[in-house]
Amino acid sequence: MAVAVAEDGDTTNHWVTKVGGVKQAFDTEIVDQEPDDRIAWRSTDGKSLAGIIRFTPLDANHTNVKVHFEWAPETVTENTGAALKIDKMQVKSDMRKFKDFIESRGTETGGWRGEVEDSGPTGQL
């Protein structure tokens, strides 16, 4: 699953994923955000998915990033990929790419850093 995420607004995003060669797009809303601590989102267009990323500072130059992502495969290809844990392997690969991207910049990307209070359930997170 390759992932591209574009900000549509302060708390809305448009995602494009590719699972087993099948491209899908969906929209999400940020439901809980505290800068430098966590960001949680859920789908807004009928897809069954939600996620949270937690950031834990280790020292002045290092941060542990933990991802929890839940989704409901809808096609045979997606179900096969999930059964073989290809989705989890791709998330790990995408996180390594994200790490490389952030480290190459040396600073954050300048996205909105406001707080969002938890506005209810985020799927099964």
Domains identified in the chain, total number: 1
Residue at 46 is within a domain: yes
**Number of H helices and number of E strands within the chain?**
2, 6
Task: Return the structure tokens found at 124.
Answer: 């099964």
Q: Structural domain of residue 64, as residue ranges?
A: 28-105
pLDDT, residue 42, reads: 93
Predicted confidence (pLDDT) at residue 10 exceeds the cutoff of 60 = yes
pLDDT, residue 120, reads: 54
Predicted confidence (pLDDT) at residue 109 exceeds the cutoff of 80 = no
pLDDT, residue 122, reads: 46
Closest CA to 1 of 85, 100, 75: 85
Q: What is the pLDDT of residues 38-88, one digit of tens each?
A: 999 999 987 778 999 999 999 988 889 999 988 888 778 878 888 888 878
Predicted confidence (pLDDT) at residue 12 exceeds the cutoff of 50 = yes
Residue at 123 is within a domain: no
State how far the Cα of 34 lies from the Cα of 53, in Å rounded to an integer: 11
**Which carries the bigger pLDDT value, residue 33 or residue 106?**
33
The least confident of 10-14, 96-100, 101-105, 111-115 is 111-115
Q: What percent of the chain has pLDDT over 70?
A: 86
Residue at 124 is within a domain: no
Residue at 87 is within a domain: yes
Residue at 10 is within a domain: no
